[in-house]
Amino acid sequence: MDIAVKFQSTATEPHPVYGYKAFHLGAFTFERDEYFAHIHWSTAEEKPASHTMDIGDFLRALMRDVGWGFFYGWVNFDDVFGTTNHYKTIDVFAGTYNGAYKKANVDLLQNFPTEEVRVTFVDILENWTNAGFDPYAAPQETGTPYGRKNGDNLSAVRRVRQLADRCVGLKDDLGMRTDSAGYPINRAFADVPQDPPELHPEPGFENEVHAFNLFAYLSRSDVVWNPSFTSVVKHSYMCPTTEEHKLPIIHGNDRVEWFFQMCDEITWDCGDKLTAEPRARVVMKAGDMAAMPADCRHQGFSPKRSMLLVWENGSPQVVYDIQEGRAPINPVSF
């Protein structure tokens, strides 16, 4: 017999001064004050350990982890704390993928059913995000994450993907946002031409053949570091996104992914997935392509809002093919 397990987060009463609740997940405790998130745990030797992050950095990372359903592989909030997606369960860890923490034996990793982590992280995000702060927005385009509890921003933190019913722009598609009723052009993309592409469908196929200006579409994106699924062909996902400031997570791959820099420039720090040891700095200028191998972690820095196409392999099998040596870690060998 199947017994449905319902999870609820374990929140405390709000802090008497700061106004935020504290949360427990297994052996981890999460607290926030005016500037910081504090994560507490006990080491294998039962010694108390803790880690502190700037609350803006923490909430931007938490928003991606929740919004992307724990993403592919590792979502490192920084070099210490993060999650690993096993697609039915989630590891929550502190120090496990940091060579120095591991050596000092102060790390902890616990595995949970995905739903248990999800409800806890959603509750933290909703309780700790104040009115006026949108964790998906570029830092210059939103209010401050700091201070005592001041309302909430549920419409921002509950943002879900807008789904297209047909190819974006075809008649009856409601997900269209390149028309005048859509989103305004971002300040950084004021020079991006908005002309639609020329189309010459055979008579009778006007409602079947379509194209849209992807640059125009992206110029109107109101968030950063949040790839959309613009084309899905079997497990090949083309995920363009607009980037400004830094990728709020350090992504550790469990598969290969490709980047195509569509305009402007992003610098990537790439490191070892398991230890955080630095491996490469990759400077990507408009037109450059790069592949992130399945054993790296990476974080991008975009000084000016730029356009990036992330090409993902969404196969549920490929991660096990790589682990068992049937598929390569590096997509190309020179």
**Listed ranges 54-62, 73-81, 217-225, 247-255: which one lies at the site for Fe ion (CB under 5 A):** 247-255
Amino acid at the residue 155: S
247 binds ligand PHB (CB under 6 A): yes
Instruction: Return d(Cα 39, Cα 193) in angstroms, integer.
Output: 46
Query: Closest-CB residue for ligand PHB?
Result: 251
b (16+ CB within 10 A) / e for 21-58: bbbebeebbbbbbeebbbbbbebeeeeebebebebbbb
**Listed ranges 76-84, 196-204, 212-220, 241-249: which one lies at the site for ligand PHB (CB under 6 A):** 241-249
Amino acid at the residue 29: T
The residue among 74 and 101 lying less far from Fe ion, judged by its C-beta, is 74
Closest distance to Fe ion from the beta carbon of 312 (Å): 8
220, 251, 255, 273: which one binds ligand PHB (CB under 6 A) = 251
Beta-carbon count within 10 A of 138 CB: 20
75 binds ligand PHB (CB under 6 A): no
62 binds ligand PHB (CB under 6 A): no
The residue among 21 and 240 lying less far from ligand PHB, judged by its C-beta, is 240
Cβ 29 vs Cβ 23: under 8 Å? yes
66 token code pair: 């929740």
257 binds ligand PHB (CB under 6 A): yes
323 token code pair: 């682990």
Closest distance to ligand PHB from the beta carbon of 234 (Å): 20
Cβ 74 vs Cβ 252: under 8 Å? yes
**Which does residue 227 bind out of Fe ion, ligand PHB, none, counting CB within 5 to 8 angstroms by kind?**
ligand PHB
28 binds ligand PHB (CB under 6 A): no
26 token code pair: 């297994």
310 binds ligand PHB (CB under 6 A): yes
How many angstroms from the chain centroid is the CA of residue 225? Answer: 7
118 token code pair: 């999800």
**Which does residue 177 bind out of Fe ion, ligand PHB, none, counting CB within 5 to 8 angstroms by kind?**
none
Question: What is the DSSP-derived secondary structure letter of residue 275?
Answer: T
51, 251, 255, 273: which one binds Fe ion (CB under 5 A) = 251
Cβ 37 vs Cβ 28: under 8 Å? no
255 binds ligand PHB (CB under 6 A): no
299 token code pair: 């974080």
**Listed ranges 14-22, 26-34, 132-140, 243-251: which one lies at the site for ligand PHB (CB under 6 A):** 243-251
266 binds ligand PHB (CB under 6 A): no
In the complex, the residues that contact Fe ion under the rule CB under 5 A are 251
